[in-house]
Structure 1
C-alpha cells in the first residue's frame, strides 16, 4: 500500500519561473498541494530552463530528465509531444513504489504504453484539447515546415487522445474541454477543475491609466497574429497609446510596433515589470485567434489590471464573459476602447471580479477536488 499523502507529479517542462502560461497551473497546483499537506515527488523534463531551487521548497524530491528532441523523439505512431518525453529512467523510478501519479498534460502520458502501470492510480490534467490546439496553430503559422508539423501532430493527437480518453480520470481546465472529451472521445471520467493561479487576491486599482496594453508570448503564431491585427486594424488610425509586451518578439514585430508614434514594444519584460504594466494600463486588450484552452494572460489582467477588452474566443467556455468588454470586429473594438480610455475603473467592477473569480478560481477549494481524484 502506498504511504498516505505522497504523490508523483510528471511535468512536461520545468515549472518555474512563471514566465509562460504552460507552467503557471503546474507550479500553482504544486504549491496548493504542498499547502494542503501532500508530499510531492516531482519529475520534469528539462530542455533549456535548468534546475530551479524554488521547486525544492514545495517538493520532497525533484528529478530532471532530458527530452528527446529532434529526430530522437520522432515516432510514426505517437505524437511528438508524447514520444519525445519517453524516458526509461523516469519509468523505472515510478515503478519503484505505488504512489498515485498526476500527469500534467497529454505530453506526459507515455507511461500508458507500459504494462507496469496498467493498474496504477493515475490522473491526467488536461490543459487543452491538444488535437484542436495544434490544428488552430497551423492556421496562423507562416512557415510551411511548421504548418506541416502542426497538422501532422494534430492528426496523431486526434487518434491518440481518443485512445487515452477512457484509460484514466481526466481533469480539464474548462467546461468546454470537458464537453468535448465526453462527446468526441466518449470519456466517462472527465470533469472540470479550473486553473490554479499564483494570485488569489484582486489587486486592480481604481482610477485611470494612460495606455492600452497587449501582453503575451510574442513568438507564438496566434499571438503574433493578434498583435499584427491590433496594430494594423485597431490602432492604426486611433491615436490612443498602445504598448505591446512579451517574450521573444521578432525584429519584424519590433519594426511594426514602432512604425507609429503612439505604439511601442517592450521586449522580454521581467515579471515585476510586466505586472507593473498590467496594473498601470487603462485597458488590457487581449483578442484571441485560438478558441482552445484557458487564457491565463486574461486571468492575470482581471486580477491585476483595469478594463479588459476581448473577443468571444478569449472567454468561450469560461465564466469570464461578464468581467470583460467583448467586441468581434476592429470597428467595434475601436469604439469600446475609445469609451473605456476615458472611463475610470471603479469599485463596482472590482467587486464583480471578486465574486466571480473567488467562486471559480479558488486554489484552496479546487485542490480538494484534485486530491479527491488522487486518493
Structure 2
C-alpha cells in the first residue's frame, strides 16, 4: 500500500475557496487511486468532528493550532509560515515513514527540524507568494494592511529561494510559476488545479443573467466587482447577479442602489451550481497574475459564456474556451455580443476539458512522480 503525508494550510472541508478546493479534490483523486493519505491540518480551532467526506478519503487526520504569538510578525520567516510550526506534527510524521507533500510554502516551516532523510519532500506550489502578497498590497486600500502585505512579500522573496531546492519535485499550478521554478531549481512539474468537476453540463441555449461570484473580503475581488458594477451601470438592459456569502455593508448599499444589479448568497455548492446553470454569461476579472483561478473551471463545466481578463488563466487551452478582453472596454463589448448569442459550446468544452484537465489524470501524474521507485 502506497502512503503519503499531506500537510495542509487549513482543514479542507467544505471545499469553498481556491486553494482548499485544490487540496480537497487532490486528496479525493489520490485516495480513489488507492493512496493511503495521512492528513495534517493547521487550523484556528480544532473542529468537534471530522466531516464524513474527509474521513472516507483519509487514513488518519491530525490537527495543529496555528500560533497566536504576535511576536511572530517580527521573525525573518514569512508570518504565514512561522505560525504553522508544530513539534507534534514532526512527531506524527516520524511515526509513519512516507513521502511528504506540503500544500503551499506556508506549511514548510518544519522542514528545518526533520531529523532524517527517510521522507522524500514534495511541494504543491499554490502561488508565487512574493508576487501574491505584492498584488494584495497593491490592491489593498487600508494603509496598515498594505504595509503588512508588502513586508510579507519581501520575506517570501528570500524564503522561496531558500526552500524551493529542497524538494524532489515542485508541482506548479500555472505555466508562469512552472517556468520560474524550473529556471531556478530545475525540479518543477506542471500539474493544473484539482477542481472536482466530472463532466461538462449540457445546457439550454440561453441563460437569464450575467453572473459575478467570489469572496468579497479579498482586495482583488472587491476591485474586480467595483469595475464590473461600474460597467453594468452603463448597460441597464442587462441583468447582473452578484453571488457571495461575504459581502460587506458598503458593497450591499452600492448594489441596492442599482436597478439591474442584485446580490444573492451562495451557501451551498448546489446553490452555486444552480446560479451557474442559469447564467447566460460569467464575468471573471482579476488584477493578480497567480495562475488559473478555480472559479474558471466551475464556470466552464457548469455554465455558458465565460468572459475573462488576462489574469484569470495563463493556460492557452482554457483561454481559447473563453471570451477574452484585454481591458474593460473589450469586456463590455463581449457582454453585449454574447447577450445576443445562443450557447452551443458544450460538446467542444467536453472534448477538451475531460481530456486535458481531469482530476484523475492529474492524480496519476503525481503518483508516478512521488512513487517512481
- TM-score tier, shorter chain, comes to over 0.9
Give, in whole Å, the separation in 2 of the partners of 1:198 and 1:220: 23
Q: Tell me the alpha carbon deviations over residues 119-161 of structure 1, each in whole angstroms, 9 at most, x when there is no partner.
A: 5211101111111111011110011111111101110101100
Which region of structure 1 is more displaced relative to structure 2, 313-322 or 150-159? 313-322
Q: What secondary structure, in the 3-state scheme, does the structure 1 residue paired with 2:317 have?
A: coil
Match of 2:353 in 1: 357
Match of 1:180 in 2: 180
Structure 1 residues 287, 123: CA separation in 2 closer, same or farther (over 3 Å shift)? same
Give, in whole Å, the separation in 1 of the partners of 2:217 and 2:241: 17
In the TM superposition, what is the alpha-carbon distance from 1:319 to its structure 2 partner?
A: 2.5
In the TM superposition, what is the alpha-carbon distance from 1:12 to its structure 2 partner?
A: 0.4
Give, in whole Å, the separation in 1 of the partners of 2:46 and 2:305: 33
2:16 pairs, out of 9, 16, 19, with 19
5+ residue gaps, structure 2, are none
Q: Tell me the alpha carbon deviations over residues 173-196 of structure 1, each in whole angstroms, 9 at most, x when there is no partner.
A: 11211001223xx11111101111
In the TM superposition, what is the alpha-carbon distance from 1:203 to its structure 2 partner?
A: 1.2
**How much is the aligned-residue C-alpha RMSD, in angstroms?**
1.6
Match of 2:201 in 1: 203
Give, in whole Å, the separation in 2 of the partners of 1:16 and 1:217: 16
In the TM superposition, what is the alpha-carbon distance from 1:43 to its structure 2 partner?
A: 0.6
Give, in whole Å, the separation in 1 of the partners of 2:202 and 2:50: 30
Match of 1:319 in 2: 317
Superposed structure 1 runs of 4+ greater than 6 Å apart? none
Is the CA contact (8 Å cut-off) linking 2:130 and 2:152 kept in structure 1? yes
Give, in whole Å, the separation in 2 of the partners of 1:69 and 1:237: 47
Give, in whole Å, the separation in 2 of the partners of 1:275 and 1:255: 26
Match of 1:137 in 2: 136
Give, in whole Å, the separation in 2 of the partners of 1:70 and 1:204: 51
The alignment's TM-score, normalised by the length of structure 2, stands at: 0.94
Give, in whole Å, the separation in 1 of the partners of 2:44 and 2:292: 24
The alignment's TM-score, normalised by the length of structure 1, stands at: 0.94
Give, in whole Å, the separation in 2 of the partners of 1:331 and 1:345: 22
Give, in whole Å, the separation in 2 of the partners of 1:271 and 1:108: 27
Give, in whole Å, the separation in 2 of the partners of 1:317 and 1:209: 26
Q: How does 1:93-108 map to 2 (within 5 A)?
A: 93-108=92-107
Which region of structure 1 is more displaced relative to structure 2, 293-302 or 217-226? 293-302
Is the CA contact (8 Å cut-off) linking 1:31 and 1:58 kept in structure 2? yes
In the TM superposition, what is the alpha-carbon distance from 1:318 to its structure 2 partner?
A: 5.0
Structure 1 residues 110, 204: CA separation in 2 closer, same or farther (over 3 Å shift)? farther
